[in-house]
Amino acid sequence: MNNTLKCVNSAGAVVGTTSTSSRNHEGSDTTHYARPGHLPIYADLLFTAPSAGTYTCGMYGYTASTSLDGYYLTAVATGTWLEVSDTNQVGARWWQNPACSSTGTSSTCTYVGAGTSTAWVFYNDGTPVHKWNAAANATSAQALATLELTTCYTGTASCKSAIDAYERPRGTNAVVDVRFEFIQLDPTSHTCRTTSTATSRKTIRDDAHHYVANFSLTGVPIDPTCGTRTFIMRIFVEHVSGNPIKIDGVQSTTSLTNGIAMNIF
């Protein structure tokens, strides 16, 4: 199941980046959802209009499966929603990591658990280290991130063959530790103040195969003693056990792992 956010212009053409979060439904009787049978998927998108005009933004649900046609999923009323800012988010910034094809063969894909145990998304994964400057009159900041992970079990078509030696049978699953950090820098571009989520342990089931972790940091202080209002964003991912993990990236114009920083006035 894919939850996609995209915006189109008056001619119906997609404008800017499309954001998608994906996960396989594990069945109505699964014990791995907060509510049995309900598959929650969240996605974020920062849309920047290229010019003045009318744009329509929406949330779309679809499946990429071609192997079956006798199933269906239902978007549940009141539990399905799209929240949009009613003001221009002046100075906001969007992060996305490098391209990584569905088959995982792109040279810019990032793997953990296949010779490398850790990665810093948006920091040492080939992404340019973007420095974001909070507005001079901002009182604090907000940071959001979506991290999409895919398990690499024996026989999967989603990972490159070079990591076959690390793959285990389907059902082994994978365990990772993740943490989201938003770091204010000093004038030498070193860390002055770090605001982060607690490190959390995630079990990515091979049955789900694709797994989405969502992060949010609100009311991030802008410390005047740091000497700058400059921040960097990164997500720590450490492989703990089980099958290797692919960190999903951009597929064509669709972003699967991304982040947003916003000013709070």
pLDDT tens profile 54-97? 999 999 998 866 667 777 788 888 889 999 998 899 999 999 99
The top-level CATH class assigned to 2-264 is mainly beta
Asked which of 28-42, 78-92, 134-148, 206-220 is least confident by mean pLDDT, the reply is 28-42
The reported pTM is 0.94
- Position 190 pLDDT exceeds 70: yes
- Position 167 pLDDT exceeds 70: yes
Using DSSP, state whether 166 is helix, strand or coil: helix
Strand partners, 156: none
CA dist., res. 145 & res. 162, Å (int): 29
User: What is the phi/psi pair of residue 130, to 5°?
Assistant: -75, 135
- Position 139 pLDDT exceeds 70: yes
Name the DSSP letter for residue 29. Answer: T
What does the pLDDT read at residue 70?
75
Asked which of 66-80, 161-175, 197-211, 212-226 is least confident by mean pLDDT, the reply is 66-80
- Residue range 139-146: average pLDDT? 98
CA dist., res. 87 & res. 75, Å (int): 28
What does the pLDDT read at residue 34?
84
What does the pLDDT read at residue 90?
95
What does the pLDDT read at residue 118?
98
DSSP string, 212-256: EEEEEEEEEE--GGGS--EEEEEEEEEEEEES-EEE--EETTEES
CA dist., res. 1 & res. 39, Å (int): 9
